Structure 1
Amino acid sequence: MPLSDTAVRNAKPADKAFKLTDERGMYLLVQQAGKYWRLDYRFGGKRRTLALGVYPDVSLKAARDRRDDARRLISEGIDPGTHKKLTKAKEQSADSFEAVALEWLAKFSPNWTPDHGDRIKRRLEVDVFPWLGARQVGDITPPELLATVRRIEGRGALETAHRALQNCGQVFRYAVATGRAVRDPSGDLRGALPPVKEKHHASITDPKAIGELLRSIQSYKGHFATISALRLAPLVFVRPGELRHAEWAEFDLTAKEWRIPGEKMKARAPHIVPLSDQAVAILEELQPLTGRSRYVFPSVRTNTRPMSEITVLAALRRLGYKSGEMTGHGFRSMASTLLNEQGWNRDAIERQLAHAERNNVRAAYNYAEFLPERRKMMQAWADYLDRLAEGGNVVAGNFGRAAA
């Protein structure tokens, strides 16, 4: 006789486990620890048992539905036990730290600059996934996470360790928001890593040394696009990622403007770079070589991708400038320091550097702020660099608003 709800509910455990039989191979196994639904079946000539759930979490009706689903699989030549294991493994894989992290990246990286997204993905792939990637995101403990970031710290990359911990925290919070974890373990690790000493991008700000650098750039022997990028970098002083991702469609050489879309900028607001006569000349000379491709400075391997993020940095190293002396980002510090010293409007300088606005809405609408003064400043800056490259000893009194 098939079981009834009353019989299942009233079944009491005895000294030994016993079964209450239902239909079609299903029964209720009653033990001291609880009541368990089971299905006995044969597959591949062997007797097997499938767990259908625990009563009362799984009712009699629900257990029969699971039994019928299992028997349908058998009729199709599928072992329901193997199918259950594979389904569980797939569900666990979908909730692994790596799967959740990649889902988080896919959702939020479109709002970041390409370089920023690439750096985070690479950081996770190299420093986090090998140790935590396969773990269920909701099962990872603070000590496990700490051991992972301390491996990074142990190789001397303390700043990377802090950034990896921050990124892991973002993944955990996304997992909490999507119901795959109940808490963010990174919150328990505040203060667990030593603080990072503030450092600034290496830069040259002495006029005489700048002149030497510019002359070195003029003598650089390499791929012409790399030479052009090196020559343009001090004239426009944008971030290295913004320079290497420059596209010809963004330039109006007649109007002497480079308009960078907001999605490429750190502050997510569009940015205008007034082009000096010198910058236009560099681009006009380069255009016959790369003008038919998308990128102004394409990769040496394919014109469908921009040059590598280390290209300009590697060129500076080949010129003999060490990491503590000059970086691709250092052209920004160079311009900021000297333009401020030599009397230009600080707000115009900050706008030209595209430093992030606290109010993102204001930043989106004010990208053309101080534009007439910025045009004048960028041409004066290019003329000043020319005089330094020629060996002139140009001091503050000879340059800036007072001399304009």
Structure 2
Amino acid sequence: MPLSDTAIRNAKPGDKPIRMYDTGSLYLEIAPSGGKWWRLKYRVDGKEKRISLGVYPDVSLKDAREKRDAARKQLANDVDPGEYRKAAKSSNVLDGENGFEVVGREWFVKFAPNWVETHSDKIIRRLERDVFPWLGKRPIQEITAPEILAMLRRIEERGALETAHRALQNCSQVFRYAIATGRAVRDPAADLRGALPPARAKHHASITDPKLIGALLRAIKGYEGSLVTKCALQIAPLTFVRPGELRKAEWSEINFDEAEWRIPAERMKMREKHVVPLSKQVLALLRELHPLTGHGKYVFPGARTNGRPMSENTVNAGLRRLGYSNDEMTGHGFRSMASTLLNEQGWNRDAIERQLAHAERDAIRAAYNYAEHLPERRRMMQAWADFLESLSLSTELTSFKTKAA
């Protein structure tokens, strides 16, 4: 039943906080001291949250309902009212809806659920460190291209050219969001195309010479550290998933009967479920590891607790322990190794790209689903595992049969 002013005025405090509920998840909380606070309860991504809407009688029942309705409109537009309030407070602009930081945080809250956690963390840190301090308090519709360029030059001057390019991209995304929500009319960041020197592409160190690959695999087989790390090092070249996907692997995702590892979309960089066909060699390694970690959640748990996956540096540290420098081989380099050799050996490029879970560059490829080319990928992954096994057993170059007759 909705609240009334009379009921609120006559409400007495108790020994414990008392809640008087109105409609639409609005309620009045009465403290034992007599103070009366308006609260709104809501959910975002399944998580329950609360915000304060002011103190009664300074905020009347009518005012509280208007604030509730405004917050519910934000929720309908996928905007967290609590996060929006934080942004408005931190930007400290007269018109909070138009401050670049307010709009930037609103854009981030809206789109972050579609990104993997590591990607979203990098974006918000970049905005907070490199963009908001200089542009955050400015009304977004008043920001000019020279202002943005001055901010980018600060990043460039410290030698972080790639970060400058990414900051420009993020700014452009925020401006386009502001245009879509009626708070800007154009994107001044678009005027800066070509204003920054091109960033040099980063390449992860990798070994692609078959003889050197054989030596690496033999070194991994002789690894004298923990069994968890050794198995991770052995499985990495056989599956060539991203290091983050490998270390966060869960036993519930492994299907021994189907010889598959199905990684859920929320853990993939491209937010699409991914199937990794498991070769006989990978299945053997997993069965060897299962008695040790199979009682827990993670295939490769951390050294100190089974409740968390191994550190992101574990595989690279293992390679360093084997004598391979960061300029010679990295955990991510196993992907380059597989891509280079599989393409050289004539496997279907689309099957290789799908197995690498790369972003598709055109509409046709973007339409492919996670199971596309799966029969061929199964043959390819087993042939790849057989090839690596043969390299590890011989110092001579071994021929690689790519396709079944």
TM-score, normalised via structure 1 length = 0.69
- Contact between 2:220 and 2:233, CA under 8 Å: does it hold in 1? yes
Distance 1:302 1:185, change over 3 A: farther
CA distance in 2, matches of 1:222, 1:135: 54
* 1:160 aligns with one of 158, 163, 168: 163
In structure 1, what is the Cα distance between the partners aligned to 2:225 and 2:334? 20
Give the AA of the match of 2:400. F
Q: Structure 2: which amino acid aligns with 1:98? A: E
Q: Is 2:386 aligned against 1:383? A: yes
Secondary structure of 1:168's counterpart equals helix
CA distance in 2, matches of 1:244, 1:129: 33
SS at match of 1:259: strand
Q: Distance in 2 between matches of 1:140 and 1:302?
A: 49
Rg larger for: 1
Which shifted more, 98-107 or 233-242?
98-107
Cα distance between partner residues in 2 of 1:300 and 1:283: 18
Cα distance, 1:344–1:183 mapped onto 2, change above 3 Å = closer
Tell me the CA shift for residue 93 of structure 1. Answer: 5.2
CA deviations over 1:56-99 (Å, ceiling 9, x no partner):
xxxxxxxxxxxxxxxx969xxxxxxxxxxx9x957655654333
Partner of 1:31: none
Give the distance between the partners of 1:73 and 1:369, measured in 2 at CA: 61
**Does 2:262 align with 1:259?**
yes
Aligned residue number for residue 8 of structure 1: none
Change (3 A) 1:248 1:122: farther
The question of whether the paired residues in 2 share the 8 Å contact of 1:270 and 1:364 is answered with no
Counterpart Cα distance in 2 of 1:189 and 1:89? 27
User: Pick from 112, 117, 127: which aligns with 1:114?
Assistant: 117
Matched, 1:147 2:150: yes
Q: CA deviation at 1:140?
A: 3.5
- Report if aligned partners of 2:104, 2:174 keep a CA contact under 8 Å in 1: yes
Matches within 5 A, 1:91-240: 92=95, 95-240=98-243
CA separation in 1, counterparts of 2:317 and 2:215? 18
The number of equivalent residue pairs is 320
Report the counterpart of residue 249 of structure 1 in structure 2.
252
Describe the SS at the equivalent of 1:351.
helix
Distance 1:282 1:107 in 2: 41
| Matched residue type, 2:198 | P
Q: Deviations over 1:14-56 (max 9, x none)?
A: xxxxxxxxxxxxxxxxxxxxxxxxxxxxxxxxxxxxxxxxxxx
C-alpha spacing 1:193/1:299, structure 2 compared with 1 (3 Å): farther
1:284 corresponds, among 283, 287, 299, to: 287
What are the superposed Cα offsets for residues 217-255 of structure 1, whole Å, 9 maximum, x if unpaired? 234454543332222110001122322332222210221
Q: What TM-score does the superposition give when structure 2 sets the normalisation length? A: 0.69
From 304, 321, 327, the counterpart of 2:330: 327
Taking a change above 3 Å as real, the CA distance of residues 91 and 293 of structure 1, as seen in their structure-2 partners, is farther
CA deviation profile, 1:296-347 (whole Å, cap 9, x unmatched): 3344455444444443334334433333322222211111221222233333
Distance in 1 between the 2:158 and 2:322 partners? 28
Q: Which amino acid aligns with 1:207?
A: P
Question: 1:294 aligns to what?
Answer: 297
In structure 2, the CA distance between the partners of 1:281 and 1:121, relative to structure 1 (3 Å rule), is farther
Q: Using the TM superposition, give the Cα deviation of residue 213 of structure 1 relative to its aligned residue in structure 2, in angstroms.
A: 1.7
Q: Answer yes or no: is 1:401 the counterpart of 2:402.
A: yes
Contact 1:247 1:294 in 2 (8 A): yes
Unmatched 5+ stretches in structure 2? 1-56, 60-88
Task: Give the match for residue 65 of structure 1.
Answer: none
Change beyond 3 A, Cα 1:379–1:212: same
Structure 1: state its 5+ residue gaps.
1-71, 75-85
Q: Do the aligned partners of residues 209 and 114 (structure 1) sit closer, same or farther apart at CA in structure 2, a change above 3 Å counting?
A: same
- Between the aligned partners of 1:383 and 1:205, the Cα distance in structure 2 is 16
Identity %: 66
What is the CA–CA distance in structure 1 between the aligned matches of 2:396 and 2:125, rounded to whole Å?
Answer: 45
1:181-224, CA deviations, whole angstroms, 9 ceiling, x for partnerless residues?
34323122221110123443322100111122222323445454
1:344 touches 1:400 (CA, 8 Å); kept in 2?
A: no
Cα deviation for residue 280 of structure 1 reads 1.3
Query: CA offsets per residue over residues 265-319 of structure 1, 9 Å max, x none?
Result: 3444322111011111222233334334433334445544444444333433443
Output the CA distance in 1 between the equivalents of 2:308 and 2:138. 34
Distance 1:209 1:360, change over 3 A: same
Q: CA RMSD in A?
A: 3.2
Sort the Cα spacing of 1:129 and 1:237 in 2 relative to 1 into closer, same or farther, 3 A.
same
Checking the alignment, whether the CA contact within 8 Å between 2:149 and 2:192 is kept in structure 1 is yes
Superimposed CA distance per residue, residues 139-162 of structure 1 (whole angstroms, 9 cap, x where no aligned partner): 433333222222222222211211
| Alpha-carbon shift at residue 115 of structure 1 (Å) | 2.8
Taking the TM superposition and a 5 Å limit, the aligned residue runs for 1:36-75 are none
